[in-house]
Amino acid sequence: MTLIERTFRERIVLVGVAVPPVGIAEVEASLDELALLVDTAGADVVSTVVQRRDAPDPATYVGKGKAEELHHISEEVDADTVVFDDELNPAQQRNLEKILGRTAIDRTDVILDIFAQNARTPEGRAQVELALLRHRLPRLRGRGKQLSQQAGIIGTRGPGETQLEVDRRRLLRRVTHLEAELRQLTRTRRTQRKGRRRSGRHSVSLVGYTNAGKSTLLNALTDAGVLVEDRLFATLDPRTRRLDLPGGESVLLSDTVGFVRKLPHHLVEAFRSTLEVVAEADLLVHVVDASAPDPGAQIEAVRAVLEEIGAGKVPELLAFNKADLAPEAKRLADTHSGSVAISALTGEGIDRLLRAVADRLRAGSGWVELAIPYSRGDVLAALHRGGEVADVRHEAGGIRLRARLDEASRGRLAEFVAGAEEAEAAEDLEGVRRD
Ligand SMILES: Nc1nc2c(ncn2[C@@H]2O[C@H](COP(=O)(O)OP(=O)(O)OP(=O)(O)O)[C@@H](O)[C@H]2O)c(=O)[nH]1
Ligand SMILES: [Mg+2]
């Protein structure tokens, strides 16, 4: 980034449209969040406009008259860019820029811009660049040189040599190149995950709205030393650490990118490999910022993204965070059964959270008899790490034992399963020596 870019703060007008059944209050809440996103991207909101319409205008989104009014407002407040809260199609964007005489972008551009600024690793950069290119390619045609040379920065910068004037064909080649690079990285990631799965450990993923406190919690629970910032989308690259649970089991805990309302589809696509760890987890700890204006809406937004990435069926444990700041956390925990109130900052409620995680992982598990050849010390070690093992007998062909396994582990160890036990028998075994 050049010095000029760093000292220049773009002046922004925000525009939201209430199309029934969406009401004005909802649009205003969404605009508050958009203002936060714009601020995170490094620009200043100088004016906000809300309009009510029966349907978006196909040519200009807000309607021609309103667009002209927006032009006047933008001149008055000396705005560089107008940001729309909903996704504009390429034609709407072009038409609006003609009327407004300045860059017109949408929420997606702002989020992509923040991701572009926060990407650190080669994988993160490649994912963001791919999302940017896929989003911008259909919008390149017909954008005059004049406009692209205007002061606006958000929605036009990105990692690498992404410039609007650059030949479309070169950009398409770049897309193909990035896709190949990401496929390779995905393979590597999958191999690593397979290795981890063979260790027999459960995997637990921290998910939640951006800025909910996922990274703070990962740091509090392990010695991850992950970056924590009062900033949206501080984390783009997933981290995995070992976590010892009460009861002796140790699991793999991952932190990943935060979600937000209307998370751009191109980003979800580009981050698919990063998000696979979430879809494959045995349990999700859904971290909720209890001090947020509307925690319920954030929970819904997170669940919508989980659905989109194929993680909608993974069991979820709600953790209402920032209890030190928000008395609301305890009330929310009381009204959501099975959830806990915590403060990742002060450590309050963390013990309870860990016990809940251990309980949830054990839930649905049952006792299974296994026969393991002596050559498979790795399986034996994994079973011991996994928790409860009983009745170990050394026989001629190998080791026979009983272990409490959940469904996923039972599937993984199917070749060693000698016979399932009755649930009552399991009760008798509680407290039996562990090896
Ligand atoms: N008061 C209070 N602040 C917290 C707590 N947990 C996290 N925070 C603050 O919330 C902000 C966001 O924390 P992060 O851990 O970066 O949040 P995140 O969910 O990882 O956010 P992204 O990676 O940006 O999606 C930071 O300023 C933290 O210090 C808490 O329990 N209490
Ligand atoms: Mg984070």
Residue closest by Cα to atom 11 of ligand 1: 230
- Please give the Cα distance from 70 to 318 (Å, whole number): 42
- Which of 37, 207, 228, 260 has most ligand 1 atoms within 8 Å of its beta carbon, as the pocket-test mutant? 228
Is it the case that residue 221 has pLDDT exceeding 90?
Answer: yes
Top pLDDT among 248 and 179 is at: 179
Q: Say which residues have a Cβ less than 8 Å from residue 133's Cβ, sequence separation at least 6.
A: 162, 171, 174, 175, 178
Q: Hey, is 404 helix, strand or coil?
A: strand
Is it the case that residue 430 has pLDDT exceeding 70?
Answer: no
Q: Which of 39-53, 153-167, 218-232, 411-425 has the lowest mean pLDDT?
A: 153-167
Is it the case that residue 334 has pLDDT exceeding 80?
Answer: yes
235 lines ligand 1 (CB under 6 A): yes
Phi, psi dihedral angles at 114 (to 5 degrees):
-65, -45
Is it the case that residue 90 has pLDDT exceeding 80?
Answer: yes
Annotated domain spans of the chain: 3-118, 199-362, 366-429
Give 112's Cβ-side CA count (13 Å radius).
32
- Please give the Cα distance from 82 to 109 (Å, whole number): 11
CATH superfamily membership of 199-362: P-loop containing nucleotide triphosphate hydrolases (3.40.50.300)
Residue 209 alpha carbon to ligand 1 centre in Å: 10
pLDDT at 123: 85
Nearest ligand, CA of residue 349?
1
pLDDT at 314: 86
Q: Which of 257, 273, 277, 288 shows the shortest CA–CA distance to 205?
A: 277
Is it the case that residue 155 has pLDDT exceeding 70?
Answer: no
Relative orientation angle of helices 168-198 and 122-140, to the nearest 10 degrees = 150
Which atom in ligand 1 lies closest to the alpha carbon of residue 258? 25
**Residue type (1 letter), 34:** L
Question: For 348-393, how does the pLDDT look when each residue is reduced to its tens digit (9 = 90+)?
Answer: 999 999 999 999 888 766 677 899 999 998 888 888 876 678 788 8
**Cα distances (angstroms) measured from residue 13 to each of 10, 139, 170:** 10, 21, 33
298 lines ligand 1 (CB under 6 A): no
pLDDT at 153: 63
pLDDT at 302: 95
210 lines ligand 1 (CB under 6 A): yes
Same-fold call for 3-118 versus 199-362: yes
Instruction: Tell me if 149 sits within 8 A of 104, measured CB to CB.
Output: no
Paired sense of beta strands 316-321 and 389-394, if any: unpaired
pLDDT at 420: 43
pLDDT at 207: 96
pLDDT at 91: 92
Q: Place 7 in a pLDDT band, splitting at 50, 70 and 90.
A: low
Question: For 27-83, how does the pLDDT look when each residue is reduced to its tens digit (9 = 90+)?
Answer: 999 999 999 999 999 999 999 999 999 999 999 999 999 999 999 999 999 999 999
Residue 217 alpha carbon to ligand 2 centre in Å: 9
**Cα distances (angstroms) measured from residue 14 to each of 49, 83, 232:** 6, 5, 18
Question: How many other C-beta atoms are found inside a 10 Å radius of the C-beta of residue 47?
Answer: 16
353 lines ligand 1 (CB under 6 A): no
Q: Which of 25, 27, 153, 12 shows the shortest CA–CA distance to 73?
A: 12
- Which of 36, 206, 216, 286 has most ligand 1 atoms within 8 Å of its beta carbon, as the pocket-test mutant? 216
CATH number of 366-429: 3.30.70
Q: Place 406 in a pLDDT band, splitting at 50, 70 and 90.
A: confident
pLDDT at 9: 86
Mean pLDDT over each residue of the chain, to the nearest integer? 84
Q: What is the pTM of this model?
A: 0.77
Q: Buried (b) or exposed (e) across 95-120, using 16+ Cβ within 10 A?
A: bbbebbebbbbbbbbbbbbbbbbbbe
> Hey, what are 264's tokens?
């751009």
214 lines ligand 1 (CB under 6 A): yes
Q: Buried (b) or exposed (e) across 282-306, using 16+ Cβ within 10 A?
A: bbbbbbbbbbbeebebbbebbbebb
- Please give the Cα distance from 159 to 205 (Å, whole number): 28
Q: Place 4 in a pLDDT band, splitting at 50, 70 and 90.
A: very low
Q: Say which residues have a Cβ less than 8 Å from residue 302's Cβ, sequence separation at least 6.
A: 207, 208, 209, 259, 286
Is it the case that residue 134 has pLDDT exceeding 70?
Answer: yes
CATH number of 3-118: 3.40.50.11060
pLDDT at 195: 73
Nearest ligand, CA of residue 207?
1
pLDDT at 201: 80
pLDDT at 157: 57
Question: For 241-278, how does the pLDDT look when each residue is reduced to its tens digit (9 = 90+)?
Answer: 889 998 888 899 999 889 988 888 888 888 887 788 89
Residue closest by Cα to atom 9 of ligand 1: 213
236 lines ligand 1 (CB under 6 A): no
Instruction: Tell me if 419 sits within 8 A of 362, measured CB to CB.
Output: no
pLDDT at 364: 60
What's the mean pLDDT in 115-124? 85
Paired sense of beta strands 340-341 and 399-405, if any: unpaired
pLDDT at 162: 47
pLDDT at 27: 93
- Please give the Cα distance from 254 to 276 (Å, whole number): 11
Question: For 199-216, how does the pLDDT look when each residue is reduced to its tens digit (9 = 90+)?
Answer: 678 889 999 999 999 999
Q: Place 425 in a pLDDT band, splitting at 50, 70 and 90.
A: very low
